Amino acid sequence: MKFTESQIQNLAPDDASFKAGKALSGKNQWLAASFTERSLWGEIKGSGSKPYQTQVDINAIAFKCSCPSRKFPCKHGIGLLLLWANDASAVTAGTEPSWVAEWMDKRVAKAEKPAEPKEHTEEDIAKSEKSKQKRADERIMFVEAGVEELTLWMSDLVRTGLLQLQAKDRSFFDKTAARMIDAKAPGLASWVKSLGKINYYADNHIWQNEALVILSKMHLLTSAFQNLANLSEIWQQTIKSLIGWNQSPKELLADETAEIIKDIWVVVGQETTQEEDIIIQRSWLKGINTQKSALILNFGTRFAPLDISVVNGSILEAGIVFFPSVWPQRAVVKLQNRILDQLPQAPICLPNINELFSFLAATYAEYPYATDICCLVSGIRPVSDQERFVAADRENYYMEIAPEIDADKMINWLAISGGDYYDTAMVIRNNKMMPLGIFMDNKYVLI
C-alpha cells in the first residue's frame, strides 16, 4: 500500500515536521531505500558519521529511526514515505536487513502473542470482586442522585416555559453540567452542555425545536435509567454508556468473549477536533462484506500523541471488536493484518436518497440516540443552487450538506467527480450529510 501525500501529511505530528520531511523526500538524499510486503526502510546521511536508519511498518503503521528526534514520526520517516509515494523507481524491492527484520519480527510476535493472564488466589479474586462491587454501588448512588436532580431541573424548565431558555446565560447550563460531573454522569453533563450551546439568538425559531429534541432525549434517558432493573442486559449496558459508564479499549481488547468482526474495512473518513487540552480523532470505517459501520475514537494530548495506525482513506484487512450496545458503533481494531491497494469488490450501497431517508428513519426508531451514522449511497453528485451546495441522486432527490463542510471541500468533490454520479461514503449528522469520499474503479478517493 502506497500512501498519498495528503495521507502522509495526516500522519505527521505537525506542519513543520511534514515540511521538513518533504525536504528530505528527494531520491538523491537517500543512500538506500527498499521495501517488502510488510516494511519500508532506508538510510540517510545525518549529522554524525553514521547514516540514520529509518524503518516503517507499512501494515500496522509504525515508525522507528536512529535519529535523536523526539517527534513521532520524525522527519526522516515522513521523508521516506513521501519518497516511496512520489518516486516509485527510487525505492526497490529487497530483503530486510537484520536491523529491520528484528524490529518487524518483534512487532509481529507481540501482535500475535495473547496477553498472559496474571495468577490470583481465590482470596485475591474475592477481595477484588468485593472492591469492584463497592465502587459500582457507590457509583449507582451518585448517579441516582444526579438523575433525580436533573429530572427536577428539567421539570422546572418545562413548568416555567421553554421560552425562558433564551434569557438564560451560559453559566446556568454550565453549573448544572458541573453537578452532573460531580454525580459521575459525564454523559448527562454533555447533554446539558449541548442545550447551552444552542444559538438562541438566531433570526428564526429553529432553536425551539433543537431545545425540545435535546430535552426529550434527556427525559427519555433519565426515565430509562430509573427503570434500569426492568431492562434487558444489553439495554442496561447501553443506557449506562449514554450516561457515562465507559468501558476502556484495553478492557475490551482483553475480553476473550468479545466477538471479532473480520472484514475488509475502508477508512472512509476522519475528523479531528479539540476540546480544551484533549484532541479527539474520529475515524469512520465501513466493512465491505459485513456492511457494518465502525467508529474508532482516538484521544491525544500534547504529552501523548494520537495513534496513527488507522490512516484516512486506507483499506484494511482487519478484525474489529465493538463495544456492547443495542446499536453497535464504537469499536477498536484488534487485529490489523495488512493494508490493501484496492477493494476486492464494489461496496454494497443504498440505491438512492429516498432509501437513505428510510434507513435513517428505521435507525432512529430502533435507537433514538444514534449519531454520526455512516452510510454508502449509490449515484450521488454535488449540485449548487447558487445559494448552497446539496447532494443529489439520479432521481433528483437531494439532501442538505452539513455546515461543517466548507466550500473548498465541495469544490474538491466537484473536481474529483467531474460533476458525475458516484457511490459516495458519508456521515449523517443532525439530519445533514457530511460527504467523505467516492468509490472509483475499486479505489476509494477522499473528498
Which pLDDT does position 219 carry in this prediction? 97
Last-in-domain residue among 220, 243, 266: 243
User: Does 200 share its domain with 293?
Assistant: no
| Shared domain check, 95 and 10 | yes
Number of domains in the chain: 4
Judge if 291 and 315 occupy the same domain: yes
Nearest to 369 by CA among 405, 332, 401, 329: 329
pTM: 0.85
Q: Which long-range contacts (CB under 8 A, 24 or more apart) does 247-255 make?
A: 247/323, 247/324, 249/332, 252/321, 252/323, 252/332, 253/321, 253/332, 253/334, 254/115, 255/321
Q: What's the pLDDT score for residue 338?
A: 87
Do 88 and 27 lie in a common domain? Answer: yes
Any domain includes 249:
no
Residue 165 sits in the same domain as residue 196: yes
Query: Residue 37: which domain range?
Result: 5-112
Residue 117's pLDDT is 56
User: Is 250 inside any structural domain?
Assistant: no
Q: 166, 194, 181: which is closest to 430 by C-alpha?
A: 194
- How many whole angstroms separate alpha carbon 61 and alpha carbon 68? 20
Q: Are residues 143 and 229 in the same domain?
A: yes
Residue matched to cell numbers 519480527: 105
Domain boundary among 77, 112, 147: 112
* Residue 371 per-residue DSSP state: -
Q: Are residues 285 and 221 in the same domain?
A: no
**162 and 234 assigned to the same domain:** yes
Determine the pLDDT at residue 341: 86
Task: Report pLDDT digits (tens) over 392-408.
Answer: 999 999 999 998 898 89
Q: For position 108, what pLDDT does the model report?
A: 85
DSSP reduced 3-state for 35? strand
Q: Residues 16, 97: one domain?
A: yes
Q: How many helices (H) and strands (E) does the chain have?
A: 12, 16
Q: What is the 3-state secondary structure (H, E, C) of 302-357?
A: CCCCCCCCCCCCCEEEEEEEECCCCCCCEEEEEEEEEEECCCCCCCCCECCHHHHH
Q: Which pLDDT does position 113 carry in this prediction?
A: 63
Domain-embedded: residue 196: yes
Q: Is residue 76 part of a domain?
A: yes
**252 within some domain:** no
Q: Give a yes or no: residue 251 inside a domain.
A: no
What per-residue confidence (pLDDT) applies to 71? 87
CA distance 175 to 179: 6
- Return the SS3 of 257: coil
User: Has residue 310 been placed in a domain?
Assistant: yes
Contact status, residue 391 vs residue 424, Cβ threshold 8 Å: yes
Q: Are residues 104 and 132 in the same domain?
A: no
pLDDT averaged per 10 residues, the chain (length 447):
84 91 92 93 88 93 92 93 90 93 90 63 76 87 96 95 90 96 96 93 82 95 96 96 91 90 96 86 96 94 80 94 96 90 92 97 95 96 85 94 90 93 96 95 91
Instruction: Note whether 215 and 154 are same-domain residues.
Output: yes
Domain C-terminal end among 243, 276, 306: 243
Residue 425 lies in a domain: yes
pLDDT at 355: 97
Same domain (yes/no): 133, 238: yes
